[in-house]
């Protein structure tokens, strides 16, 4: 077996709000959406539709957002679990100090930035759905 890609699929209460949050705070771009009818793929949101799925992208990272009802139907192991997880999504980035200041300026739930014993400068934040995102940069 060869693994060629890993894309987190986040269970969310509201797909459009989740996409907007990641676009506003982290500069992701919307790639595609799927309306509740699940009969087509679109590249934007329409005001007259509800959505069950979206894909966003930034640099080499893609994320999926799937509305709770659809997610629990597709991922049967999640049926009795709450949204969120005891996992963090850890991303290496460039310019962590400026990015940390920007996140604090947006009044997001952000930890202090720290330098670890393993040579990374890092911090964590909690997104609007309760998921934990870690951001790190190697200390030179």
In this prediction, residue 85 has a pLDDT band, given cuts at 50, 70 and 90, of low
DSSP state letter for 24: H
Spell out the domains of the chain, with CATH numbers in brackets: 1-80 (3.10.180.10), 84-140 (3.30.720.110)
Phi, psi of 14 (to 5 degrees): -140, 110
Say what the pTM is. Answer: 0.89
The residue ranking higher by pLDDT, 50 or 81, is 50
Q: Is 86's pLDDT higher than 80? A: no
In this prediction, residue 81 has a pLDDT band, given cuts at 50, 70 and 90, of confident
Lowest-pLDDT range of 22-26, 77-81, 93-97, 120-124: 77-81
24-37: b (≥16 Cβ within 10 Å) or e: ebbebebeebbbee
């Amino acid at each position: 077996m060869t693994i060629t890609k890993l894309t987190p699929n986040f269970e969310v209460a509201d797909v459009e709000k989740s996409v907007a949050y990641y676009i506003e705070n982290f500069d992701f771009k919307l790639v595609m959406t799927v309306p509740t009818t699940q009969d087509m793929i679109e590249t934007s949101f329409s005001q007259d539709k509800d959505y069950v799925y979206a894909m966003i992208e930034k640099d080499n990272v893609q994320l999926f957002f799937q509305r709770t009802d659809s997610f629990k139907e597709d991922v049967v192991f999640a049926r009795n679990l709450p949204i969120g997880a005891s996992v963090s999504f850890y991303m290496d980035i460039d310019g962590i100090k400026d990015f940390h200041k920007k996140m604090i300026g947006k009044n997001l739930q952000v930890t202090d930035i720290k330098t670890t014993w393993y040579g990374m400068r890092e911090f964590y934040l909690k997104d609007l759905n309760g998921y934990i995102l870690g951001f790190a940069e190697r200390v030179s």
